[in-house]
Structure 1
Amino acid sequence: MRIATLAMICTPMMIVGGCTPAPQEPAYAPPPPADIAQAVLRDASGNEVGDALLTQLDQGIRVVIRVVGLSPGVKAAHLHMTGRCDAPDFRSAGGHWNPEGREHGRDNPAGQHMGDMPNLIVGQGGRGLLEVTITGGWIDGSDRALLDADGAAVMIHAGPDDYRSDPTGNAGGRIACGVITPG
């Protein structure tokens, strides 16, 4: 027969009615992975031109990008591997998020980068909306996490992505950037 030892807290009044177990400190648990992240998009002059919301789903990362005040047309949108957006050219954001070491573009037989997304269409009023799920992606808490030690960024390019040219899709200059932060 096993006998379990249980620490008890007893006060004189409780001895008559019984004792209660001593409170135990919870075991340490690391914080849960981020289930949302966000970014404020700014142009080279520092003006706010949009935002992005990233939500962790079971099947991947849901990305919603909203822009305002951009010139009308089709623009490439990508997730970049470094969480820096130094104006004027945003080169500090590095290349596309590519944890699997693939080439660029959904139409490339060796593609695609995890950070490749469909083009963003900006209407005549300067507004655009892109909603996409990056299948298999993780915001954090994975070896393929977007938010690694040096962070990540959302990038909008001047032109459309051709979905095949490596490494950038021939998308033109970087016109808006936002550092992705948890929560």
Structure 2
Amino acid sequence: MVQLIVFVGVLPFWWLVARPGRDRWAGLGVLGGWAAGSAVLAAAYPRVSWELAFAALPVSVLIVARLRDPERPRSWPFRVLVVLTVVLGLVSVPLLLSEQNPAEPPAGVVLPLPEGLVATEGYGGGDCGTDVCSTFVAVGGRPGQTPDDLLAETRRHLSGRGFAEECRRTGLLLDRRELCALATMHEDQVLIRLQSVRGEGF
């Protein structure tokens, strides 16, 4: 979403500073390719989504700077674009360095389950406070499967999803929140508790 907004915002500036003709369309393709590629990468690797969103505008400006027509008299649009980039960067830095509130963790980080296991998303509802937000997923076993075996299989599944130590950092650098997954027995089911934990500020 951020990449699309940046692409649409940069487009008028590019149109004013680009070489007319084929070069203008080629540059448009490069900008569109960067926006689409970074959006797909963010969807495939959520841990770098904040970094890609933060880089969307600076990289777009670098593309415009590299491909624009230096002989065109209307250079003011490029200057305005650079100023806007600097201002937005200065405004966003304090936000990135401050404490980061938790968000409701998506059940998709542990789903789908191994074949034969049954999941109930939103089991018992969720809760969200100042420091922690939680989501619950109930796991039902196969016919005849013992509770201990179900619990062990669920914990192996969580380990394979990156929760070998129960908690992991949500992002790579900028998103400092933690995402935790804990499997415990609840009656005849295993209950997975997903928690998003507040990220500390610098």
Structure number with higher relative contact order (C-alpha < 8 Å, ≥ 6 residues apart): 1
TM-score w.r.t. structure 2 length?
0.27
TM-score w.r.t. structure 1 length?
0.29
Return the structure number with greater strand share: 1
Return the structure number with greater helix share: 2
